[in-house]
Amino acid sequence: MSPHPVGEGDLDVTAAEFVLGLLPQADHAAAERLLQEDRAFAQAVAGWRARFTELDDTAPVLPPGSGLWSRIARNPSLAAQAVGDRRAARPQPSALSIKPAWRGRSLRAMAMAAALLLAAALGYFAQDRASKPVLIAVLLAEGSAQPAAVVSAYRDGRIELAPLQPIEVPPDRALQVWTLWDRAVGPKSVGLLDQARSTRLTTEGIPATGPKQLFEITLEPRNGSPTGRPTGPILMKGLAETAL
């Protein structure tokens, strides 16, 4: 960053100019490298980002087009991540038992990131409080870290399901959505779908959604589980977390 004398104060102002996007091309590239290598510079950048982020909240809230969602869902690097996880797990099944904590943490980190992303992308950070979900559950496809659907519980009690990828449903089968808030009560059905689509879930006889409440989707006979309990394979599941 030759044009700017490098001293304590100057480095901080350079960090601010970097955050504003004002550095000339060469300095910008140098700043990107410094961001990776220099802890003090990285902290200065994080500080300025935090100071200015309130301005981001004033941006108009725009729903993403459906094309954007399907592109994100189909993105090869997102899919590769999930495949990579499976590949790593398959040849050495013992790895799972050796490092369960690591695996759990990485899945949790991804699920959290996915939840934050969805919240951000859908504009939940806007000041419109009425449309802000209180809790979000990201349902991960069984056997992978791929987010497959998101359940949002709103302040007014409404619960909505939004699938993120298509699910193959055989003609005589249906997708049944379950929630579990108390092991003593057991899972309750909150929806039956012939295919993956966005829908409002039933809230009748269900208490207000709480943190760590489980949501899952199983494959059941077309008219729903005959026993009132999940009988088919679990396709995806996730726990509700407090939205930011």
Partner 1 sequence: MLGVALRILRRRPLAEEAVHDAFVQIWERAASFDPQRGAARSWIYAIVRHRALNILRGEVRTDLTADFDDLALASPDESPETVVAMLSEAGALRRCLDRLEPDKRRLIVLAYIHGLSHGELAARLAIPLGTIKSWIRRTLISLRECLA
Beta carbon nearer to partner 1, 81 or 165: 81
Q: Give the CA diameter of the chain.
A: 74
Minimum CB distance to partner 1, residue 119 (Å): 9
Q: Identify residues 39-68 at the interface with partner 1 (CB under 8 A).
A: 46, 49-56, 58-65, 67-68
Site for partner 1 in 19-38 (CB under 8 A): 19-22, 25, 28
Calpha distance 180→212 (Å, rounded): 9
Kindly tell me which of 24 and 186 has the beta carbon lying closer to partner 1: 24
Contact by Cβ (8 Å): 162, 150:
yes
Report the residue number, 124 or 215, with the smaller CB distance to partner 1: 124
66-125 binders of partner 1 (CB under 8 A)? 67-68, 71-72, 75, 77-78, 81, 106, 109-110, 112-114, 116-117, 120-121, 123, 125
The residues binding partner 1 (CB under 8 A) are: 9, 12-13, 16-17, 19-22, 25, 28, 46, 49-56, 58-65, 67-68, 71-72, 75, 77-78, 81, 106, 109-110, 112-114, 116-117, 120-121, 123, 125, 244
